[in-house]
Structure 1
């Protein structure tokens, strides 16, 4: 993806600044809010990527949206990206920052694929199970895929646990295909 290396460099610099200021948790929350807001708002993403709209207008719009909700370091990142004509990288910088922060704090990202969205109670149970299995904290990313019919697929790092109904059906199918059942009529 274009600009990924630059976004990673900015994210590393912001993480180092946040660590020096001892505000890495606040900056992480701000970066998550920025990434989520821009990802969910297609018009805002179009404005940031538009070559027609002037950079100072983009910065004013972002400051109006985020000035009350995010910390000063994150506001400074918006200004810096604007000065360097790199505002389209804002979402990538925010996402890269979160990845670096999670890695630094030994927080794993668990991808849970379910047929329906996770409830808050199930989310807590999944987090507890991940903590028990890996010994690390984790954040849960829920992916909804109705094709698995029921159950879940849990992926943490290089560990995958498939407890989906579709997997159980596929296992049964393989057993019937591989066995030498003779139909008795």
Structure 2
């Protein structure tokens, strides 16, 4: 059987095209994030997979949850997913949609893991350097991991920069052995 992400890709591409045409990328992003959280809930998963509940009833529940974010195109999209038994793919669809949105908006979220909290100046310098190197607007997702001892690890798309003290010690140990 095909991987879920492979099956989700055409749906994500289609909904991205609709969102772009409607000029509602941000709203669709919020909606897909919300719906992805919903279908991760065990109770809602039972509702979606229950043979006693019609596709239309399931779509109505999801549209009610979406509230103000729901539109005719949202209802049509959810109906299509329900008809094809793909509602449980909403998390994968949301992930692919975000990748497409970031590409279209020339933006990227970079994960920065540091041994100690970054100052605003350090975060600004890292963001500017990544912007220059990658040619995209950079948003930093910063976390602290004291086990790094010092320095930082930066992951931005396919780029990984390990400037941590722990990483340098590991590379030194590998070189010596």
TM-score by length of 2: 0.72
Query: Given that residues 108 and 137 in structure 1 are in contact (C-alpha distance below 8 angstroms), is that contact kept between their aligned partners in structure 2?
Result: yes
User: Does the C-alpha gap of structure 1 residues 149 and 92 become closer, same or farther in structure 2, counting only changes over 3 Å?
Assistant: same
Which stretch has the larger CA shift, 53-62 or 152-161?
53-62
1:1-185 equivalences in 2 (<5 Å) = 2-35=3-36, 37-38=37-38, 41-43=40-42, 46-47=45-46, 50-52=49-51, 54=53, 55-68=55-68, 70-72=69-71, 73-114=73-114, 121=120, 125=124, 126-141=126-141, 147-171=147-171, 173=173, 177=176
Preserved CA contact (<8 Å) 2:112 2:141 = yes
Whether the 8 Å contact between 1:32 and 1:98 is mirrored in structure 2 is no
Quote the residue 1:183 is aligned against.
none
| Distance in 2 between residues matched to 1:149 and 1:52, nearest whole Å | 54
3-state SS of 1:26 partner = helix
Provide the C-alpha distance between the structure 2 equivalents of 1:4 and 1:85, rounded to a whole number of angstroms.
15
CA deviation profile, 1:118-170 (whole Å, cap 9, x unmatched): 78958953434422332211344557766434432112233321122312333
User: What is the rounded CA distance, in whole Å, between the counterparts of 1:123 and 1:67 in structure 2?
Assistant: 40
Distance 1:52 1:83 in 2: 13
**Structure 2: how far apart are the matches of 1:123 and 1:56?**
51
Cα offset, 1:171, TM superposition: 4.7
Residues in 2 aligned to 1:105 and 1:48: alpha-carbon distance in whole angstroms: 36
Q: Please list every run of 5 or more consecutive structure 1 residues that lacks an aligned counterpart in the other structure.
A: 179-185
| Contact persistence 1:111–1:142 (CA under 8 A) | yes
Structure 2 segments unaligned to the other structure (5+ residues): none
TM-score by length of 1: 0.69
Give per-residue Cα distances to partners, 1:54-79, cap 9 Å, x unaligned.
234432332232223x2424444223
Bigger Cα Rg: 1
